[in-house]
Amino acid sequence: MDAAAWDARYAAAPLVWSAGPNAFVERDLADLTPGTALDLACGEGRNARWLASRGWRVTALDWSPVALEKGRRLAEESDPPVEVDWVVGDVLSAPLPTSLDLVVVAYLQLPAAERRTALRRAWEALAPGGTLHVVAHDSTNLREGTGGPQDAAVLYTAADVLDDLGTEAGLEVVHADRVERLVPAADGHGPAGTAYDALVHVRRR
C-alpha cells in the first residue's frame, strides 16, 4: 500500500487502530524513564500519544497526512491534552531526529529490503543506552493466526529483525520472541482468535 492508499484507509473510519497503546508497547515501556522518543510509522499515533501522556517528548512520523491529522486531533482532545511533534515523511528517506532514548516501530509491514533500511535507520537514531521496540505481525500468523496482512512478503519474525540490525552494533537483547495477542471476534460476539506477533526489545550499548 502506498501513502495514498493508507490515506484512504484512514479517511474511511473514525479510528482504524485502538485509541490506547499497543499492549506490548505498554507492557514493555511503561517503566522506562521518559526522554526523547520517535514513533516510526505512527498511524493515528496511539503509541505516540500514550508516551507523551507519560512525559516523553515524542516525534511521530508517518507518510499518511490523514492519519497524522487524526492523531493531532486526538492529542488535542486528550484530557489533559498531550503534545506530539507530528511529521509527514517516508520511513525510508525522511530526516529522523537523532540521539533518541526510544524508537517504537509498531506493525510496519514492508518487503524485506525496505524493512531492513527502516529498522537500521531507527537503530541509528538511538543514543547509546537507547531502546528500540519493534512489534509486527509474525510470519507464522499467515497460517496459524488470525487477521493481519495476508501477503507473506511483508511479514517477518523476531529473528529477521535481529538479522536486519546485525550483531556488530553493540546490541543488547531484552527479548526477541513470537508472542500471542487475543483478537476479538469481528462481530464482537463469537470466540476470540489468536494473532501471532514478532516482538523485539533491544538496547543500544
Ligand X SMILES: C[S@@+](CC[C@H](N)C(=O)[O-])C[C@H]1O[C@@H](n2cnc3c(N)ncnc32)[C@H](O)[C@@H]1O
Please state, as a whole number, how many other Cβ atoms lie within 10 Å of the Cβ of residue 191. Answer: 6
Q: Which residues are at the interface with ligand X (CB under 6 A)? A: 6, 17, 22, 41-43, 46, 62-64, 67, 90-92, 106-108
Of residues 172 and 186, the one with the C-beta less far from ligand X: 186
Least Å distance, CB 107 to ligand X, is 4
Written as nine digits, the cell of 161 is: 529483525
Least Å distance, CB 126 to ligand X, is 18
Of residues 67 and 200, the one with the C-beta less far from ligand X: 67
Which residue(s) pair with 176 in the sheet?
200
Of residues 152 and 205, the one with the C-beta less far from ligand X: 152
Of residues 46 and 181, the one with the C-beta less far from ligand X: 46
Q: How remote is the C-alpha of 118 from its chain's centroid?
A: 12
Least Å distance, CB 9 to ligand X, is 8
Q: Which of 82, 88, 126 is nearest to 104 (CA)?
A: 126
Q: Minimal CB distance to ligand X: which residue?
A: 43
Least Å distance, CB 118 to ligand X, is 7
Least Å distance, CB 154 to ligand X, is 9
* Cβ-based neighbours of 154, under 8 Å, separated by 6 or more: 109, 110, 111, 115
Of residues 44 and 101, the one with the C-beta less far from ligand X: 44
Angle at 105 between CA 100 and CA 111, to 5 degrees: 125
